[in-house]
Every structure is written in C-alpha cells, then in structure tokens.
C-alpha cells in the first residue's frame, strides 16, 4: 500500500517540517451503552455487507476510542486525530453523531456536556483562535506566528465557524436531551463574546484588534496586508480571516460561515431568553442575525450563465466574488445541514448543481471517485468529508447509496475514511487518522439505516 506521509504532504505544500510534534495519551474507556446499541443494530442491518459493517464498527465509535480524553475537572478534550490539539469545529463534528442517541445515557451525556464546558472556556480565553491545547503547555503549530498568542492556543487562525459549532452543539444537545448542566455563567459569557466579536468584525478594517501573519509558508496560510487581510467593504456580514479548511479567504466574507452565523444567532437568542432570561443579549443577537442575513441576500448571490442564481463562496462587498466550494462545513454543499435553507430551496439546488460540476474549480473526477476537494491538499484530490456531506444533504436514496459505495471502495483497504485521496488511485491519500471524517461517514451510514435505505 502506498500513501502520503506527513513529510510528503509538507513537501508538496512547502510547509516547514515539525520535528517536535508532541503526543497526547488518550486513556481508553468502555463505550457508552447507547453507542454499543447502535453497533448492534448495524450488525443486523448490514450483515449482508461485511466490509461496510466493519467500516461502520470502526468509524462510529472512533472518536470515543481514539480521540476523547475526559479531564479531571469534568470537561472533555477531543483531539482532531493525528494532531495533538482540539479544533472547535472538528471536535463538535466528531461527536455530533452521538447527540441523537445521548438522551438517557449518563456517560455519553457527561462526555458531551464536558465538551461544551471546555469549548466555552476556550472561547472566553480567545474567541479568535481555532485550535487549543489540553493545558497551558505552550504547544503551537508555528511558534513564530505574529499574532496575540497564548500558551493555551495551538493555532490562532480566525474562522467564523469556529464560534458557530460550539453553539450548534449546545443548542441541538439541549433540544435533544433536555440536559442543561452546561448552562453556567461561563457559557453565558461565551455567547456574549461571540456576539461582540461578530459585531466588531462587521467593520474589520476599522475596529478589529485581530492580526495574523505567518512567514515562510504557503500563500494560503497567512493574512496579507500587514496581517489584516485584503480590504473589504461594509455589507452587514461578519468578516473571517480563514475559511473552514484553515486556508486564507480570498475575499473575507465567507458566505457559508455567515449563513451559519445567522442560524447560530437565533440559537443564542433562544438560549439567552429561555435559560438566562437575558433580554438584552437576545435582542443584540437577533439584531445582528438580521443584519448578517440582509448582507447575504444583498451581496452573497451571483447570476451564473448556466445555473442561474447561486450563492458565492466568498465576497468582499466591492463586487468581487469567488465561485467555488470546499470540503467540510460550513460549505455551500452543507447549507441544509447547518440549517440556513432546506434542501429543496431553488437557490441551493442551483448552487448544488454548480458545485458538483466542473465549473467548480475544486470538483474532480477520476476512475474510482468524483467529488469536491480542497486547496488544503494536492490538486485533484477528492475528500471523503465532502462525499459524506453530499450524502448527508441528499434526499435521493440512489445518490446516498452511490456515495456510501464510493467511500467504501476508496478506503484503501484500511476500514476508515481519510482526508483527501487520489480518485484515480485511492491508495494514495492524506491523514490515515482523521476522526472527523470517520464520524461523518458513520453518520451517513446511520442516516441510511434510520431511513431504511437499501444498502
């Protein structure tokens, strides 16, 4: 078997090699009963497909078995996999598929509540950071980044979605289980800080304290214009430095992230009112939600000559736009998943047809797979994450089956999902241990099981 190592990937990307990558020991613990119940269900429903069943048995509990560390203070640390840090975005999506089965399972509830508490702590430490350490150990991806770094921060690339995902997890977990033990003063402060940051970043060039510069790196790994990013015009949307692939925004209003912010501000308003009776925070959240949404509607769409009205990936408010889609979430593909619009929304459907065509510069086709890749990995690679999201946002049973079959056929005989892979030779891939990708593939299979889609 041939696969890309981290050294190969760094060479391809011209990333300085880390020679001192630390490690985190994750103690094992018995799987919660709710998780073993789902695996038992899969053994019945997928018995006729032994390889797919094995992949599900590998992927569904993977985050709990390899990446979840329960801390002495009652919080939960979830590392991204082969990097010893916790990304706010990744951690949420690594456990999101456990939320629907968590109610009544005390152990699973403690794990998720603990994760929400730790994320609120991190947001209050630094709302501009995207990835954190398990302690103030002063570990960093690049210690020489020119930004307001902290010993707690692994990386400080500001991404709007990093603040969205913890609120999404908290809200959906609360609604699914009724658990409220994480709604403390720290969580209230985190909600207020998110609203404050997004309000400030509506006028980034004038008001923001955030700067980020990285030297001797890829162009997409640093903010330009002395760490402020390229100029933007006021739109009502909120500014972001980097998109959800941790690559720099070409134009700094990332439309899917702003869509996600609109949804999350509604969550914040509801939690502020129902849990804390905080009318002022709810009003501020709803006012900002309206301003950002109006910005999306005014600046966030483009008339494409073949597909009609579609959403742009990024805009700058000066009339410039970037038409593409990337992997993961929030992305244009993920619009129904993040809750901004339904799957049958006409603009979304037009956009979906665009991003699943060769008009999208990151849509690739090969002998064994076709789908969306990323600037984050070698050109031409397709990501399992994007395939899983295509399936999770589909209402077509045939499309869902095809996606599951495609991922199963491109696992390089590892039994797990990966990051990017060569669609002409799936045995060449990046990141053998990428827990987020495993979680989403498991969620897709579970969706098919729950909807009785014949596999």
The total of structural domains in the chain comes to: 1
Instruction: Give tens-digit pLDDT for 236-271.
Output: 999 999 999 999 999 999 999 999 999 999 999 999
Answer whether residue 437 is part of any domain.
yes
Mean pLDDT of 346-362: 98
Q: What is the pLDDT of residue 2?
A: 47
Helices 50-59 and 397-409: crossing angle, nearest 10°? 80
Question: Using 50, 70 and 90 to split pLDDT, how confident is the model at 8?
Answer: low
Q: What is the pLDDT of residue 3?
A: 55
Q: Which residues pair with 301 in a beta bridge?
A: 311
Q: What is the pLDDT of residue 82?
A: 85
Answer whether residue 384 is part of any domain.
yes
Instruction: Give tens-digit pLDDT for 20-69.
Output: 678 888 888 899 999 999 999 999 999 999 999 999 999 999 999 999 99
Instruction: Give tens-digit pLDDT for 122-151.
Output: 999 999 999 999 999 999 999 999 999 999
Q: What is the pLDDT of residue 135?
A: 97
The total of other beta-carbon atoms located within 10 Å of residue 361's CB is: 13
Q: What is the pLDDT of residue 22?
A: 84
H helical segments located in 126-242: 160-177, 185-200, 204-207
Q: What is the pLDDT of residue 212?
A: 98
Instruction: Give tens-digit pLDDT for 285-317.
Output: 999 999 999 999 999 999 999 999 999 999 999
Q: What is the pLDDT of residue 421?
A: 96
Whole-prediction pTM value? 0.95
Give percent above pLDDT 70 in the chain: 96
H helical segments located in 67-105: 88-95
* Mean pLDDT, the chain, whole residue set: 95
Q: What is the pLDDT of residue 86?
A: 97
Answer whether residue 433 is part of any domain.
yes
Domain membership of residue 420 as a residue range? 6-450
Q: What is the pLDDT of residue 14?
A: 47
DSSP 254-309: EHHHHHHHHHHHHHHHHHHHHTT--HHHHHHHHHHHHHHHHHHHHHSEEEETTTEE
Answer whether residue 455 is part of any domain.
no
Answer whether residue 1 is part of any domain.
no
Mean pLDDT of 440-449: 97
Answer whether residue 214 is part of any domain.
yes
Report the SS3 class of residue 364: strand
For residue 212 the two structure tokens come to: 């980020």
Q: What is the pLDDT of residue 328?
A: 86
Answer whether residue 264 is part of any domain.
yes
Question: Using 50, 70 and 90 to split pLDDT, how confident is the model at 1?
Answer: very low
| CB of 4 closer than 8 Å to CB of 428 | yes
Answer whether residue 219 is part of any domain.
yes
- Check which CATH number belongs to the domain holding 257 and give it: 1.50.10.10
């Amino acid at each position: 078997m041939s696969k890309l190592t981290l050294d190969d990937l760094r060479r391809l990307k011209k990333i300085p090699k880390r020679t001192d990558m630390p490690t985190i020991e994750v103690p094992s613990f018995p799987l919660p009963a709710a998780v073993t119940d789902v695996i038992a269900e899969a053994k019945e429903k997928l018995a006729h497909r032994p390889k797919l069943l094995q992949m599900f048995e590998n992927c569904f509990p993977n985050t709990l078995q390899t990446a979840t560390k329960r801390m002495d203070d009652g919080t939960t640390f979830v590392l991204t996999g082969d990097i010893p840090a916790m990304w706010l975005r990744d951690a949420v999506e690594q456990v999101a598929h456990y939320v629907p089965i968590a109610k009544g399972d005390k152990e699973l509830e403690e794990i998720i509540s603990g994760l929400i508490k730790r994320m609120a702590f991190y947001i209050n430490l630094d709302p501009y950071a995207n990835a954190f350490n398990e302690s103030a150990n002063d570990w960093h991806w690049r210690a020489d980044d020119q930004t307001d770094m902290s010993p707690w921060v692994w990386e400080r690339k500001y991404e709007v979605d990093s603040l969205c995902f913890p609120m999404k997890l908290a809200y959906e977990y609360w609604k699914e289980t009724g658990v409220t033990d994480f709604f403390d003063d720290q969580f209230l402060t985190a909600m207020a800080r998110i609203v404050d940051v997004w309000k400030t970043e509506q006028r980034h060039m004038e008001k923001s304290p955030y700067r980020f510069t990285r030297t001797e790196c890829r162009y997409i790994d640093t903010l330009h214009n002395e760490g402020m990013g390229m100029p933007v015009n006021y739109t009502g949307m909120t500014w972001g430095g980097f998109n959800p692939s941790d690559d720099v925004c070409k134009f700094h209003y990332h439309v899917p992230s702003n869509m996600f912010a609109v949804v999350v501000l509604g969550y914040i308003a509801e939690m502020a009112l129902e849990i804390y009776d905080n009318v002022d925070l709810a009003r501020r959240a709803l006012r900002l939600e309206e301003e950002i949404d109006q910005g999306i509607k005014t600046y966030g769409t483009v008339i494409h000559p073949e597909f009609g009205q579609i959403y742009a990936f990024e805009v700058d408010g000066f009339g410039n736009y970037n038409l593409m889609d990337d992997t993961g979430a929030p992305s244009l593909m993920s619009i129904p998943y993040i809750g901004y619009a339904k799957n049958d929304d006409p603009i979304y459907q037009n956009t979906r047809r665009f991003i699943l065509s060769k008009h999208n510069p990151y849509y690739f086709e090969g002998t064994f797979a076709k789908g969306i890749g990323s600037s984050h990995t070698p050109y031409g690679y397709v990501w399992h994450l994007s395939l899983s999201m295509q399936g999770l946002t589909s209402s077509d049973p045939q499309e869902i089956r095809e996606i599951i079959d495609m991922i199963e056929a491109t696992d390089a005989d590892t039994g797990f999902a990966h990051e990017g892979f060569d669609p002409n030779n799936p045995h060449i891939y990046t990141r053998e241990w990428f827990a987020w990708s495993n979680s989403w593939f498991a969620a897709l299979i579970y969706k098919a099981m729950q909807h009785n889609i014949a596999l």
